[in-house]
Amino acid sequence: MNGLFGVYVHIPFCAKRCDYCAFATWTDRSHLQTEYLRALRRDIVDALLPPASSVFVGGGTPTLVDPAQLADVLSAIPRVDDAEVTVECNPDDVTVEMMRTYRRAGVNRVSIGVQSMVPHVLASLGRTHVPANVHHAVDAVHAADIPTYNLDLIYGAAGESLADWRLTLEGAIALAPTHISAYALTIEAGTPLADEPHRHPDDDDLADKYELADQLLIAAGLANYEVSNWALAGHECKHNMLYWRQGNYRGFGSAAHSHLDGRRWWNVRTPERYIAAVTDGEATEAAGETLDENTRRTEGLQLALRMRDGVPASALPVEALAADGLEDLVESDGERVRLTQRGRLLANEVSLRLR
């Protein structure tokens, strides 16, 4: 990874949990915010980190916490001069002053949780923001001179037609983002969505919507560089690419994950336990695992296959797919094998043939 190192900071607070969300977030712990951010800063300082090439603040809803306090947490993270620093943003919370505070703290990328630009689809997802606030948020990003911004979209909600999805894509493209993520709605155990099968997405519908997204986003100049991500040249998410390339990173906060040379571990899940562990000088780790060489190699190939550069031809012989009539899922230049658009829809199927 050429010495690249990432830092993830988890903000576990939300005003409302979305129907599809299975993340470690809490809607009844806002009174812990100041104490939690203080613990984050102390934990980061005590970790004696190497300079980070990328920092990602996710959640939860980072924009719920005081921007100045979050900036103080970021100031504790050593960074290389050109580090990418991203904060996830809820459009309802964003203000010009918030974005300017982030920018002064070194934030140069934000990811705005748009999900949809159609009100009834947002309601179906359990989202509370209105599309107009997405426009206000983007205006605030421009006012603060933050150079890279992602719009995060989700397709496949109950009641979302292909025409609805086109409206969302066209509305997002009209905002001229440098990056768009478009994820198929997935069903996570334990969520309200999981308990209502009539709201589950249809695979054929998801395929149609993915193809439409790829068509419109590429036409708008956003190149697909990972199955669910499109960007202008030079605006690809460095932090996510670090994950996809099995790089090393440290996670701070409740339930945050870390990885170092094949060892993965994760922190205690609740903010109370995390605060207590840091305050008492105890380990925040809840559990971990060390991958054997073969597992690590296989995972590395599976992740690489999802990206634009693909995998070495030796790892995925085209004849293995041709034997099953699946040769149209990949393309090869003799040295690298890459997924076609249809292959991106069936990436898991292709992964089974990696060697």
- The CATH 3.20.20.70 portion of the chain extends over 5-243
Per-residue pLDDT of the chain (355 residues), as tens digits, is 468 999 999 999 998 767 676 677 878 899 999 999 999 999 999 999 999 999 999 999 999 999 999 999 999 999 999 999 999 999 999 999 999 999 999 999 999 999 999 999 999 998 888 899 999 999 999 999 999 999 999 999 999 999 999 999 999 999 999 999 999 998 777 676 666 776 778 889 999 999 999 999 999 999 999 999 999 999 999 999 999 999 999 999 999 999 999 999 999 999 999 999 999 999 999 999 999 999 999 999 999 999 999 999 999 988 878 888 888 999 999 999 999 999 999 999 999 999 8
Distance from C-alpha of 18 to C-alpha of 76, rounded to nearest angstrom:
31
The Cα–Cα gap between 134 and 52 comes to 30
Q: Classify residue 211 by burial, with Cβ atoms within 10 Å: 0-12, 13-18, 19+.
A: middle
pTM of the model: 0.95
Closest to 175 measured CA to CA, from 228, 237, 130, 133: 133
Q: Which residues pair with 7 in a beta bridge?
A: 55, 250
CATH topology of domain 5-243: TIM Barrel (3.20.20)
113 sits in which H/E element: strand 109-115
Question: Which DSSP string corresponds to 288-325?
Answer: EEE--HHHHHHHHHHHHHTBTT-EEGGGS-HHHHHTTT
Nearest alpha carbon to residue 89 among 51, 144, 45: 144
